[in-house]
Amino acid sequence: MKQLGILLFDDVEVLDFAGPFEVFSVANQLSEYKLLEVHTFSLNTLPIRARNGLQVVPDHTISSIPTLDFLVLPGGDGTKKIIQNGPFIEQIKQQVLSSEWTMSVCSGSRILGKAGFLEHKPYCTHHEVFESMAALVPSGIPKPTHRFIQSDTGIWTAAGISAGIDLALHLTEITFGKELALATAKYMEYTPYLDLHAR
């Protein structure tokens, strides 16, 4: 089975991680739980307090998580602190390099930018984060009109918050097939993806 990891940290935006978690978990559910294992991880396994107070307990530390095939980097104000932790960014960088693909959501782009993956690359992020991204990655190519974009081989970035659902469904489609992605969107009653493919 494939292994998918979702990074958690204090002040993570809830839908940034919960949206992709739901997409990939439902896709697995519809595949009789034979497709992939979805894990959460953080610096440690202490409860994290997400944006607006939701508490979540990560499954693993970054050191104990299984080797990942897929990686999700959500955003939120907590990314400002994450990118100040050099050793942790280096660990994330190694996870990105060893994964088949990595997706960021919202200001999770800061993590990819700090790790050096967005130099001279197109990227999406939350509309309020493009200014800080320009300072962090001056050579990056902002794409404020896109919902998500492939920034490099194996690296995708999504716009703010709910855009993570769109990108997660797109990656489900290209990784596991359009039929499963459509079934996942139908189960979730996520009409933007269904409407896109009804045209």
Q: What is the dihedral of CA 69, 144, 116, 64, to 10 degrees?
A: -30
Contact between 103 and 19 (Cβ < 8 Å): no
pLDDT at 158: 98
Please count the residues of the chain.
199
Residue showing tokens 């896709």? 27
Name the pTM for this structure. 0.97
And the tokens for 142?
């902002």
**Distance from CA of residue 95 to its chain's centroid?**
13
- Give the model confidence (pLDDT) of 151-187 as tens digits: 999 999 999 999 999 999 999 999 999 999 999 999 9
199: pLDDT strictly greater than 80: no
Structural domain total, the chain: 1
The HSE-up count of residue 143 (CA atoms within 13 Å, CB side) is 18
Q: Torsion-angle region of residue 125: left (phi > 0), alpha (psi -120 to 50) or beta? A: beta
First CA to last CA across the chain, in angstroms? 33
Domain with residue 91: its CATH number is 3.40.50.880
**Could you list the residue range(s) of the whole structural domain that residue 151 is in?**
2-198
Residue in 32, 117, 102 with CA at minimum distance from that of residue 70: 102
